[in-house]
């Protein structure tokens, strides 16, 4: 994580799994989870909003 693809050796590239990011989906799901948790406790600390 955090390494540029073209700097990896060919051998290491075969061991890497690439995954796509969907920040809009992550933000939506994070908001939904926070809403559900806030029903159970008024003390929810959100560290980061996307």
Tell me: the pLDDT tens digits for 16-43? 877 778 888 988 998 899 999 999 998 8
What values do phi and psi take at 6, rounded to 5? -70, -15
pLDDT of residue 1: 55
| Cα distances (Å, whole numbers) of residue 35 to 27, 42, 47 | 12, 10, 14
Residue ranges covered by each domain of the chain: 20-50
CB neighbourhood size of 27 (10 A): 13
For the entire predicted model, the pTM comes to: 0.53
CB 49, CB 27: distance < 8 Å: yes
The DSSP code for 20 is -
CA–centroid distance for 26 within its chain: 7
């Amino acid at each position: 994580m955090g390494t540029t693809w073209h700097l990896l050796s060919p051998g290491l590239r075969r061991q890497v799994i690439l995954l796509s990011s969907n920040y809009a989906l992550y933000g939506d799901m994070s908001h939904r989870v926070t809403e559900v948790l806030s029903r159970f406790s008024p003390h929810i600390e959100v560290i980061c909003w996307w």
